[in-house]
């Protein structure tokens, strides 16, 4: 799988978790701030739209929204 395909997969995973938990980008900004991560809504929107973010950012987001696990596939 090419890097762009992996980026799309990770982007989809995070967006799915946000949707599953009914968390908007604005709410994500607040939740990230609560765990010590300061970022703006436009910046987060851009990161998720491009699919270019670090594993650290992914884990920070998952922690901030209260996700204790991540489903990697529907299978």
Residue by residue, pLDDT tens for the chain (75 residues) are 898 899 999 999 999 999 999 999 999 999 999 999 999 999 999 999 998 899 999 999 999 999 988 877 765
> Which pLDDT belongs to residue 20?
93
* Nearest residue to 59 via CA among 35, 38, 41: 35
Query: Domain residues of the chain, as ranges?
Result: 3-64
| Distance in angstroms (rounded) separating the CA atoms of residues 25 and 71 | 21
pLDDT at 72: 79
């Amino acid at each position: 799988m090419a890097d762009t395909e992996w980026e799309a997969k990770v982007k989809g995973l995070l967006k799915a978790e946000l949707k599953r938990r009914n968390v908007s980008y604005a709410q994500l900004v607040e939740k990230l701030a609560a765990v010590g991560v300061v970022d703006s809504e436009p910046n987060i929107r851009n990161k998720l739209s491009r699919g270019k973010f670090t594993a650290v950012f992914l884990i920070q987001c998952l922690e901030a929204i209260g996700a204790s696990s991540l489903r990697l596939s529907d299978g």
